[in-house]
Amino acid sequence: MPPKGKAQKPKGPETSKAPSTAPAPQQAASPALSAPPANVKQRSQQRFDESRPYEVARQKVGLSGLSPAEQVGWISARFARSNAVARSRLGPKSQRELWRHVNEANLPVRALKKDPFWGRDRNGRDVGEYNLAQFDDRTAKRIALTALEVSSRAFGDLRERANRGPRDETSGLVVTETEVQEERVRRASMATLRKELYGEKMTGKLAQDPEWDDVEPIPYEEPAVALAAIAYPEEYAEAISYLRAVMQKKECSPRCLRLTEHIISMNPSHYTVWLYRASNIFALKLPFLDELNWLNSVALENLKNYQIWHHRHLLIENYYPKIADSPSAIADLAASEQEFLATILAEDTKNYHVWSYRSYLVSKLGLWGNADELAAMESMIRDDVRNNSAWSHRFYIIFSNPEHSTPGTASTEPDPRAPPDIVDREIQFAQDRIYLAPQNQSPWIYLRGVLVKGGRKLASVEKFVEEFITGLEEQGSKEDIQSTHALDLLAEIYAEKGDKKKADLCLRRLGDKWDRIRVGYWEWRRKCLGTPGGEVVAQA
Amino acid sequence: MARPRPSDQRFSPAAAAATHPFSGRFEPADEEFVIEHTYPAYMIPDLFTVAPPVRDALVTATSRAQDKTVDICLPFLSGEDDVFKYNEHGVPRLNKTNHIKFLHRSLEPLPGGFILMDASRPWFLYWSLSAMTMLGEDVSVYKDAIIETVRSMQNETGGFGGGGGQLSHLATTYAVVLALALVGAEEGFEIVDRKAMWRWICSLKQPDGGFQVGVGGEEDIRGAYCAAVIVTLLNLPLDLTPESPAWTAGSDKNLFSGLAEYVKRCQTFEGGISGQPNAEAHGAYAFCALGCLSILGDPRRIIPRYLDVPRLISWLSSRQYAPEGGFSGRTNKLVDGCYSHWVGGCFPLIEACFNTPSNKQAGMKSDSASPKKLPPASESLFSREGLIRYILCCCQEPSRKGGLRDKPGKAADAYHSCYVLSGLSSAQHQWELTSSVEGDLTGGQMDSVWNVLPYLEDDVQIFDHGDRVLPIHPVYAIPLQHQQAIRSYFLAKEGF
């Protein structure tokens, strides 16, 4: 940096207050220089010229072209800024003369360097090309950064002393939360300033956070040849390197919890971070409801996510023992869960993970006979009678109710404990919905499932099934089939009754005309009819 | 209700006009539509070009989504899309070159937007390598890179996570083991710490017979299938460690005890299989269930012993829709290319049980445990033509980017590329179970011997001869020789 001492201060236009010997030499010689400089380089040039009075004029017109006063000024200035050895070659008188001139004309006694380098900014631009306002701004930032660095070092010293604890005579020192918060703000400002001034990478959020100062992150270094390596965004790369560090130490703390939230916000399908979060929640004994509320918002933002529902499962597993003795607490939990499930299923009616969770919830909280649960299924089936997830769940809550089912009975097997009135009700329920859309397979499968569960003959619904089939005959022009599923069931009914011929006709018509894509299956079913004991399909 | 003419004749130009997909699709059948423009005389059965003969008037969210899907697929199915070149059967070629390029690219560095896949990276390895292998591409060039990549994903406590610093997971471990098998390198097999792996898998085994997918993770049938594959391919001991949650003093329970019963509990009243007991039947879990059982024992006996096979077949068969031709994953859900494997891959296992010469023998011997005798299915239980049409017409990304996809309008990805091609492979081949080593059900060393043949249609083959992809093992989902190589490598090992 060029010297900016006071010696240079009087210069340019201001210097001209010593007109006695050399009236406004620079102005006359170079009017352009009197204009305010456009950028830092120009100002440097101006100052350089000012530190060499009459030099510009001399270069133009030669020494002899200057007035005698100017010549004296030029020579005096040269001697004044030259070194003492050079000056010592002058006699004592000449030296006195020299200093007299210097004083009178207020000549600079030190010269500036030519073309000083001002450095480059973060974009590689020469700072010398900054205009003066920009330059002042940059200077102010550098000063501010230095000030922050000083304060930050002071914070570091303070905390180090505090950490040394009682052994130190200054024991009793504590770093307050306010101070930590101030330091956090300070580091954020420092990072911003460094980035603006020097283009330094923004330090990661965590590296900047005084709360994480004691953790040495473990970055994940992929081998150079790694396949399908993901170019992690910096923030993510930083966060998972801190995650590895705290997981290695098995740390459970509020800051770890915040770290998991941070990572989940970037990648909710990171199963490791979810499991780690759960262990933190349980280790810190955090309130179940707080976590559940947080989870609700995450779930709504990530409808397709898988891990969220296992996390919820773990929360319920952990919480349930605490309320197991309180039927009212269980009822409250059931009601709030049902409410949330209604919200989420309204967004995505067939979400597999949500439905799987729902079936878990029923078994955990014993909701088989819960009226609201049944009503919820009824309402979802009303909204879309083809929602098979709702049909499937309905079957589960009704026929797996431990109050009237035999443990260990397979889903496709009859259960002697299935109450006849419920079986009747469900047959009716399915039939009513089949009328709405006879080609909808869900209620047909349901109907068949109910019949089997209840130990009923399939033929008990023969009349109903026949309503959807008219004029069944080979190549018949009057043949009218409203439902291929009815025809399928009818084939089973005929087989059950031993009428293989009619059963075979149903299956042939399915394969030939009404459901040709499945012809291979229908043909196999026909073969089943011929095999001794082949009615198995009907008896399953 | 729209009704097509009762005809399943292959297309003639005149018939093509009359059964143009948009003629009467949403109109009463008696209204005649005159189609002005003509299409090339592709031989496409009208089954794949018109709406199904029985449709309901009631509109719900489900039917809207279904109708929209049919609309999107029909132009591709009926040869009207102008980006593909169709053969005389109205089927485009399998664009191997572009798909292979796409798969190589998916192993290159991925941009930051992929962080959502950060916990699934081993899957990218398996999906891409498996798909390339089926397309006939040599993947051994990836040997060193695979080994280096998965090395950093292994945990000292056993198993592989989704990436460095992630907990081990059965799904990612399964993907790693299969990826190593695909590059077929013994030095790759050696990086697996089998002792730690065995301890870790024991820690996942639950008292009810199933497996958690990771320590503290969910218990589901994916875990059951992945664990069975890993244990068998790596030839891990079946003994339980005393630290296992399933261990009880003085009992002879092992890693496979109660696993078949767990699978049984996942069959639903629909006949399909749910991810865990009491949930909805879902295609992906049907494959996991059958695959798991086929490892635990001879599929001809163990599948009927633990599952209601007629119900299962009924449900599997219901997954195939016309005109789309592809499979859906659940009742009243949409077709998706990936179920070509999850559902389509069930049929080789089911059909092999019925079609093999030893069926009778097995049936007679077997006895009490398998009370239901089922006839062999001499024809395919599903429409191979339908599935192949859906895959080649609807699941190929038509642009030069390549890759395979869920359905038209969706982006191709490695997952769909792998499972769409696996499904194509199932549809193009026929598996026979020739013998199996007898043994105790839970003895674990059940090696069924499978034979594969190209499936030859009786009349016409709709796809080009060169588009037959390579077969994969019906249980392990990698080529047979790769499965045998890794299995025999570890069988030959004594101790860890």
- What's the pLDDT score for residue A474? 63
| Average pLDDT rounded to a whole number, residues B346-369 | 59
Query: Which residues in A lie closer than 8 A to residue B116 (C-beta atoms)?
Result: 267-269
- What's the pLDDT score for residue A477? 74
* 8-state DSSP, B411: P
* Annotation says B174 is catalytic: no
Query: Which residues in A lie closer than 8 A to residue B271 (C-beta atoms)?
Result: 412
Query: Which residues in B lie closer than 8 A to residue A268 (C-beta atoms)?
Result: 116
Question: pLDDT tens-digit profile of A259-284?
Answer: 999 999 999 999 999 999 999 999 99
A34 has pLDDT over 70? no
User: Domain coordinates of chain B in residue numbers?
Assistant: 96-491
CA distances from A1 to A112, A117, A131, A137, A435 (A): 9, 8, 18, 18, 92
Cβ-defined contact of A412 to B308 (cutoff 8 Å)? yes
Tell me which CATH code domain B96-491 carries: 1.50.10.20
Cβ-defined contact of B216 to A540 (cutoff 8 Å)? no
CA distances from B409 to A183, B42, B158 (A): 51, 24, 41
CA distances from B308 to A401, A497, A538, B222, B275 (A): 22, 21, 12, 20, 17
Site of tokens 């419920």: A422
- What's the pLDDT score for residue A529? 92
* Annotation says B415 is catalytic: no
Tell me if residue B160 falls in helix, strand or coil.
Answer: strand
Q: What are phi and psi of B81, to 5 degrees?
A: -70, 135
Q: Could you write out the DSSP letters of every residue in A112-170?
A: PPSS----B-TTS-BGGGS-HHHHHHHHHHHHHHHHHHHHHHHHHHHHHHHHHGGGSTT
Q: Measure CB to CB from residue B47 to each of A400, A445, A517 and give the nearest one.
A: A517
Kindly state the percentage of chain B with pLDDT values over 90: 73
| Average pLDDT rounded to a whole number, residues A234-255 | 94
The number of CA neighbours under 13 Å toward the Cβ of B473 is 24
Cβ-defined contact of B119 to A243 (cutoff 8 Å)? no
Active-site residue (options: B338, B353, B395, B418): B338
Q: Is A442 an interface residue toward B (CB < 8 Å)?
A: yes
Kindly state the percentage of chain A with pLDDT values over 90: 56
Q: Is A435 an interface residue toward B (CB < 8 Å)?
A: no
CA distances from B369 to A217, B5, B294 (A): 58, 47, 16
Stretch among A318-322, A375-379, B362-366 having the lowest mean pLDDT: B362-366
A363: tokens are 């078994």
* Annotation says B330 is catalytic: yes
A442 to chain B, closest Cα gap in Å:
7
B439 has pLDDT over 90? no
Question: pLDDT tens-digit profile of B135-185?
Answer: 999 999 999 999 999 999 999 999 999 998 899 999 999 999 999 999 988
Cβ-defined contact of B269 to A442 (cutoff 8 Å)? no
Task: Give, rounded to a whole angstrom, the gap between the first and last alpha carbons of chain B.
Answer: 65
Q: How confident is the model at residue A170 (pLDDT cuts 50, 70, 90)?
A: low
Whether the upstream peptide bond of residue B277 has omega within 30° of 0, thus cis, is no
- What's the pLDDT score for residue A489? 98
Active-site residue (options: B42, B306, B321, B339): B339
Nearest residue on chain B to A351, alpha-carbon basis: B280
B323 to chain A, closest Cα gap in Å:
8
Mutate to test the interface with B, among A279, A365, A411 (most CBs of B within 10 A): A411
Q: Is B379 an interface residue toward A (CB < 8 Å)?
A: yes
- What's the pLDDT score for residue A79? 83
Q: Is B372 an interface residue toward A (CB < 8 Å)?
A: yes
Higher pLDDT, B92 or A125: B92
Active-site residue (options: B46, B220, B336, B467): B336
Most confident of A61-70, B24-33, B363-372, B475-484: B475-484
Residues in chain B: 496
* 8-state DSSP, B441: G
Question: pLDDT tens-digit profile of B379-411?
Answer: 789 999 999 999 999 999 999 999 999 999 999
| Average pLDDT rounded to a whole number, residues B6-24 | 37
Q: For residue A345, count other CB atoms closer than 10 A to its CB.
A: 20
- What's the pLDDT score for residue A169? 55
Mutate to test the interface with B, among A377, A386, A496 (most CBs of B within 10 A): A386
Nearest residue on chain A to B119, alpha-carbon basis: A270
What's the alpha-carbon Rg for chain A, to the nearest Å?
45
In the predicted model, what is the mean pLDDT of chain A?
A: 87
Q: Which of A356, A364, A307, A308 is nearest to A334 (CA)?
A: A364
Q: How confident is the model at residue A31 (pLDDT cuts 50, 70, 90)?
A: very low
Q: Is A35 an interface residue toward B (CB < 8 Å)?
A: no
Cβ-defined contact of B381 to A521 (cutoff 8 Å)? yes
Q: How confident is the model at residue A470 (pLDDT cuts 50, 70, 90)?
A: very high
Mutate to test the interface with B, among A265, A357, A392 (most CBs of B within 10 A): A392
* B190 within 8 A of B491, measured Cβ to Cβ: no
Burial track A454-465 (b if 16+ CB lie within 10 A, e otherwise)? bebebbebeebb
Q: What are phi and psi of B460, to 5 degrees?
A: -120, 150
- What's the pLDDT score for residue A57? 85
- What's the pLDDT score for residue A62? 86
| Average pLDDT rounded to a whole number, residues A278-299 | 95
- What's the pLDDT score for residue A310? 97
Nearest residue on chain B to A279, alpha-carbon basis: B216
Site of tokens 């198995």: A536
Mutate to test the interface with A, among B110, B143, B280 (most CBs of A within 10 A): B280
Q: Which of B371, B313, B304, B345 is nearest to A522 (CA)?
A: B313
Question: pLDDT tens-digit profile of A302-340?
Answer: 988 889 999 999 999 999 999 999 999 999 999 999 999
Question: pLDDT tens-digit profile of A216-240?
Answer: 898 888 888 899 999 999 899 999 9
Tell me if residue A377 falls in helix, strand or coil.
Answer: helix
- What's the pLDDT score for residue B255? 97
Cβ-defined contact of A352 to B332 (cutoff 8 Å)? no
Q: How confident is the model at residue A172 (pLDDT cuts 50, 70, 90)?
A: low
Q: Is A236 an interface residue toward B (CB < 8 Å)?
A: yes
* Annotation says B282 is catalytic: yes
Q: Is B320 an interface residue toward A (CB < 8 Å)?
A: yes
Query: Which residues in B lie closer than 8 A to residue A508 (C-beta atoms)?
Result: none
| Average pLDDT rounded to a whole number, residues B277-300 | 96
Query: Which residues in B lie closer than 8 A to residue A521 (C-beta atoms)?
Result: 313-314, 317, 381-382
Q: Is B318 an interface residue toward A (CB < 8 Å)?
A: yes
Cβ-defined contact of B161 to A272 (cutoff 8 Å)? yes
Kindly state the percentage of chain B with pLDDT values over 70: 85
Provide the ipTM.
0.89
* Annotation says B298 is catalytic: no
CA distances from B1 to A437, A465, A483 (A): 12, 19, 11
Cβ-defined contact of B148 to A223 (cutoff 8 Å)? yes
Which long-range CB contacts under 8 A does A416-421 form with residues at least 24 apart?
A416/A455, A418/A453, A418/A454, A418/A455, A420/A454
B328 has pLDDT over 90? yes
Strands A480-481 and A469-470: antiparallel
Q: How confident is the model at residue B445 (pLDDT cuts 50, 70, 90)?
A: low
